[in-house]
């Protein structure tokens, strides 16, 4: 039918454009809870072209950072419930390493004629550099606050020392008279 052909054409364009960029892409078959990866995402995420029982498989395989598991589950609930444009930022374990990369993941949902979610186009962008810059910026901000507090304490201590000097001088003057 025309709708299926249109869908396949969109799907093909999506995969081709993703291969030409630094995007990682895949398709989520919502009723099956299965992702179908393109070649670019297979290189980054591992060699399985299809993964079922999402998001639980990724969680059970310890691909998701432990602190991000609930964010990831909630994200998938939104997609499965038909949210059209879902986004999240999580840490994903890089294939064959113990390191995590920060990813911004987005799903755009496709609906059937009955307005039921049937597929979603998934994209992921590696935002590790951006996140590390944010952390560095936050650390610098915290350091600036600490420096400001230390300067305030130093100024207060200087005033106390000057007051003590004045008191000491007054005592010395009083002793001389």
Residue 168: the pLDDT is 81
Q: What is d(CA 155, CA 170) in angstroms, rounded to the nearest whole number?
A: 23
26 exposure class (CB count in 10 Å sphere: 0-12, 13-18, 19+): buried
pLDDT tens for residues 104-119?
999 999 999 999 999 9
* Contact in structure between 66 and 49 (CB atoms under 8 Å): no
Residue 14: the pLDDT is 65
DSSP letter, residue 1: -
Residue 2: the pLDDT is 62
Positions of the chain with pLDDT lower than 50, given as ranges: none
Q: What is d(CA 99, CA 41) in angstroms, rounded to the nearest whole number?
A: 17
Residue 139: the pLDDT is 66
């Amino acid at each position: 039918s025309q709708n299926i052909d249109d869908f396949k054409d969109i799907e093909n364009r999506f995969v081709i454009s993703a291969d030409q960029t630094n995007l990682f892409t895949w398709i989520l078959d919502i009723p099956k809870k299965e992702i179908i990866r393109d070649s670019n995402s297979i290189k980054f995420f591992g060699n399985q072209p299809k993964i079922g029982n999402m998001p639980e498989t990724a969680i059970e395989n310890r691909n998701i950072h432990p602190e991000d598991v609930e964010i990831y589950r909630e994200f998938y609930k939104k997609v499965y419930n038909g949210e059209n444009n879902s986004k999240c930022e999580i840490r994903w374990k890089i294939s064959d390493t113990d390191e995590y990369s920060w990813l911004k993941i987005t799903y755009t949902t496709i609906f059937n004629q009955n307005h039921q979610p049937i597929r979603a186009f998934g994209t992921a962008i590696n935002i590790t550099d951006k996140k590390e810059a944010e952390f560095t910026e936050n650390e610098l901000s915290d350091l600036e606050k600490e420096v400001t507090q230390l300067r305030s304490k130093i100024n207060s201590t200087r005033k106390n020392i000057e007051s003590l000097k004045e008191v000491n001088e007054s005592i010395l003057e009083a002793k001389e008279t």
